[in-house]
């Protein structure tokens, strides 16, 4: 249906031109809600937007989630639908994710060939890992109970519409750490007179790499990275204060907890050996996204029915996704869908010259509609 595809493209371009950062998406939320109401769909606005479609008599309900926040990136693309908000850009395809789910809403509303309830979850602030939990804390799963939940992300560099997922961990967790070292600064020519913090900090940077190489199984896939090294030193002044910042990625909760334990032990030990005070802050921004095996099989079955290329045993992704918070509450599946292999569609996510592939819009909308019909089948 060329008209359907054209309308989805126009809607996606509208979202792309008006990007908003996490928890600032007032225009985006209003636009989503207006579109749902125009379709005659029951709509609820809160931290996010929820659409509810009911048909038949079944009490079974499934949830489908799409994210709609953008990133603090200045767009380099020059096409007509480039961002109008300087310094803000849909560089991750959330404009496409939202449009696909709105397309599915239209298909299901016009042809309610299902028995049960489809809850459409439009979520803010995925990029900071805060939106899903905020909606849960607000009561979205209590007010709109669901038995299963599904979400997706486009994947640049893979053929358009190729569906891939896996049972178990699909996305790694992300934890941020800050290590503060306080001692006594002094003159660079007389280090013995103080307790400078540059040397213990440098030791820490190297020692933290032994956590993965010596404390965890080789197959863990965990990553520990120090990303910032900040001191109050000068040309001839030894620092008395140093701050190290970094992040940890892990594929399993137990490995994440082991990393935290060893990080604290190493930091404390180096602090004692140098006679400096060390404090550690470790917080997990994104938990691991863990797919239910049955839900993953349902995703592959829907892809197979549509004739889409599919892979039910793809490797885990090292990036993080706060869909994980929904999947921690009810059985769920997060999947990847190919965004294309050429041009802006193959650029890395978060690149300033990336763009979502409009060819994927109708495919994604029909995929969600097919999955809903399969999971809520009408009786004969």
Same domain, 119 and 236: no
Last residue of a domain, one of 252, 286, 320: 286
Query: 3-class DSSP state for residue 103?
Result: helix
Same domain, 258 and 227: yes
φ, ψ at 215 (rounded to 5°): -110, -20
pLDDT at 275: 97
pLDDT digit string, tens, across residues 215-272: 999 999 999 999 999 999 999 999 999 999 999 999 999 999 999 999 999 999 999 9
User: Which residue in 261, 271, 268, 269 sits closest to 199, CA to CA?
Assistant: 271
Same domain, 95 and 24: yes
In whole angstroms, what is the distance from residue 93 CA to residue 69 CA? 9
Q: Residue 380 — pLDDT band, cuts 50, 70, 90?
A: low
Q: Which residues contact 380 (CB under 8 A, 6 or more apart)?
A: none
In whole angstroms, what is the distance from residue 196 CA to residue 12 CA? 55
Last residue of a domain, one of 224, 259, 286: 286
Report pTM. 0.93
The answer to whether the CB of 228 falls within 8 A of the CB of 244 is yes
User: Which residues make beta-bridge pairs with 164?
Assistant: 311, 336
Rg (CA), the chain: 24
- Does 94 carry a binding-site annotation? yes
Tell me the residue range of the domain where 226 lies: 173-286
- In 127-250, which ranges are E strands? 148-155, 163-164, 168-171, 173-182, 186-187, 223-231, 237-238, 241-250
Number of domains in the chain: 2
- Does 310 carry a binding-site annotation? no
Same domain, 278 and 371: no
Q: Residue 2 — pLDDT band, cuts 50, 70, 90?
A: confident
Same domain, 157 and 140: yes
- Does 153 carry a binding-site annotation? yes
- CATH number for the domain that contains residue 150: 3.40.630.10
pLDDT digit string, tens, across residues 80-129: 999 999 999 999 999 999 999 999 999 999 999 999 999 999 999 999 99
The answer to whether the CB of 123 falls within 8 A of the CB of 66 is yes
pLDDT digit string, tens, across residues 25-69: 999 999 999 999 999 999 999 999 999 999 999 999 999 999 999
- Does 6 carry a binding-site annotation? no
In whole angstroms, what is the distance from residue 96 CA to residue 154 CA? 8
- CATH number for the domain that contains residue 267: 3.30.70.360
Query: 3-class DSSP state for residue 124?
Result: coil
Same domain, 196 and 309: no
- Does 86 carry a binding-site annotation? no
φ, ψ at 341 (rounded to 5°): -115, 5
Same domain, 306 and 278: no
Report, as an integer, the average pLDDT of 163-191.
Answer: 97
Same domain, 236 and 87: no
Q: Hey, CA dihedral for 29, 30, 33, 35, is it positive or negative? A: negative
pLDDT at 1: 62
Q: How far is CA 139 from CA 62, 136, 147, 291, in A?
A: 16, 5, 15, 22
In whole angstroms, what is the distance from residue 74 CA to residue 29 CA? 22
For the chain, the farthest-separated pair of C-alpha atoms sits apart, in whole angstroms, at 87
Q: Residue 367 — pLDDT band, cuts 50, 70, 90?
A: very high
Same domain, 305 and 327: yes
Report, as an integer, the average pLDDT of 286-298.
Answer: 98
Same domain, 131 and 205: no
Same domain, 156 and 103: yes
pLDDT at 379: 78
Last residue of a domain, one of 250, 265, 286: 286
In whole angstroms, what is the distance from residue 349 CA to residue 355 CA? 9
Chain mean pLDDT for the chain: 97
Same domain, 240 and 294: no
User: Which residues make beta-bridge pairs with 44?
Assistant: 50
């Amino acid at each position: 249906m060329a008209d359907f595809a054209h309308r989805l493209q126009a809607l996606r371009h509208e979202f792309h031109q008006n990007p908003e950062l996490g928890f600032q998406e007032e225009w985006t939320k209003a636009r989503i809600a207006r579109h749902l109401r125009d379709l005659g769909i029951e709509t609820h606005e809160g931290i996010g937007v929820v659409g509810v479609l009911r048909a038949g008599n079944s009490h079974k309900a499934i949830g489908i989630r799409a994210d709609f926040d953008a990133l603090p990136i200045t767009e380099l693309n020059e096409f007509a639908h480039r961002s109008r908000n300087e310094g803000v850009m849909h560089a991750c395809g959330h404009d496409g994710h939202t449009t696909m789910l709105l397309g599915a809403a239209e298909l299901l509303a016009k042809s309610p060939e299902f028995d049960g309830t489809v809850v459409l979850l439009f979520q803010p602030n995925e990029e900071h890992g805060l939106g899903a939990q905020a909606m849960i804390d607000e009561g979205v799963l209590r007010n709109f109970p669901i038995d299963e939940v599904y979400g997706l992300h486009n994947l640049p560099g893979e053929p358009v519409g190729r569906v891939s997922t896996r049972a178990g961990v699909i996305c790694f967790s992300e934890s941020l750490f800050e290590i503060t070292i306080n001692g006594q600064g002094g003159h660079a020519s007389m280090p013995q007179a103080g307790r400078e913090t540059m040397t213990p900090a440098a030791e820490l940077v190297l020692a933290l790499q032994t956590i993965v190489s010596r404390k965890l199984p080789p197959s863990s896939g965990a990553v520990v990275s120090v990303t910032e090294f900040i001191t109050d030193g000068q040309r001839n002044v030894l620092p008395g204060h140093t701050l190290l910042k970094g992040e940890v990625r892990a594929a399993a909760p137990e490995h994440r907890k082991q990393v935290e334990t060893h990080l604290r032990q190493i930091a404390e030990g180096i602090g004692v050996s140098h006679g400096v005070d060390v404090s550690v802050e470790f917080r997990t921004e994104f938990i691991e996204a863990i797919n239910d095996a049955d839900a993953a099989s349902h995703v592959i079955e829907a892809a197979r029915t549509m004739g889409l290329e599919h892979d039910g045993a793809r490797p885990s992704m090292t990036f993080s996704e706060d869909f994980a918070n929904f999947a921690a509450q009810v059985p769920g599946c997060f999947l990847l869908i190919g965004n294309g292999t050429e041009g802006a569609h193959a650029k890395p996510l978060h690149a300033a010259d990336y763009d979502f592939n409009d060819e994927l819009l109708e495919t994604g909308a029909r995929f969600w509609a097919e999955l809903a019909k399969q999971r809520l089948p009408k009786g004969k």
